[in-house]
Amino acid sequence: MSKKVPLKRVGEHQELANLAAYLVSDFSSYINGEVITIDGGEWLKGAGEFNMLEDIPQEMWGQLEMLIRANKNKS
């Protein structure tokens, strides 16, 4: 799991607790309706269905293209 995260580690409970403490403090009084992603940069790196494409070896891309084109022509 940590290999998908740019920081190369999973989060610690204390990091989430620090965020919660900040959000309930007076220092965050101007924040409202915000979504805060606390994931070590995974979302910004491109998390989702295709986020592991960088792990495909360069020599396989030609084979993948041929497979996709062959399947596309069948429809």
Say what the pLDDT of residue 5 is.
82
User: What are φ and ψ of residue 8, in 5° steps?
Assistant: 60, 35
Say what the pLDDT of residue 47 is.
63
The whole-number average pLDDT for the span 19-38 is: 94
The whole-number average pLDDT for the span 12-17 is: 96
Predicted confidence (pLDDT) per residue in 31-75, tens digit: 999 999 998 888 887 766 666 777 889 999 999 999 989 988 876
Nearest residue to 23 (alpha-carbon basis) of 34, 13, 12: 34
pTM value?
0.55
Instruction: Please give the C-alpha separations between residue 17 and each of 8, 36, 66, in angstroms, as whole numbers.
Output: 20, 13, 49
